[in-house]
């Protein structure tokens, strides 16, 4: 019974740590003048999951005249 309680406590402790660890997110924005006038606005968002190691990147580019 003591081993079962210890195992249950360890599972609770690990679950609490896993829930408090979130994804790491970075975001950047740039504005550049166009060659023939206008403007280019770029946004890049990168998200990394430290538990699984998965990385996802979202990049958008908006051009105006």
Spatial separation of the C-alpha atoms in residues 57 and 30, rounded to whole Å:
16
Per residue in 33-61, pLDDT (tens digit) is: 988 889 999 999 999 998 899 999 999 99
Confidence grade of residue 13 (pLDDT, cut at 50, 70, 90): low
Whether the predicted model's global pTM rises above the 0.85 cut: no
If DSSP codes are grouped into helix, strand and coil, which group holds residue 45? strand
CB atoms within 10 A of CB 61: 11
Domain assignments of the chain as residue spans, ordered by start: 19-64
């Amino acid at each position: 019974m003591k081993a079962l309680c210890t195992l249950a406590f360890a599972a609770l402790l690990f679950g609490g740590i896993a829930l408090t660890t979130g994804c790491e997110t970075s975001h950047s924005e740039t504005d550049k003048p166009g060659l023939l006038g206008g403007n280019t606005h770029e946004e890049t968002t990168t998200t990394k999951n430290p538990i699984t190691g998965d990385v996802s990147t979202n990049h958008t580019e908006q051009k105006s005249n």
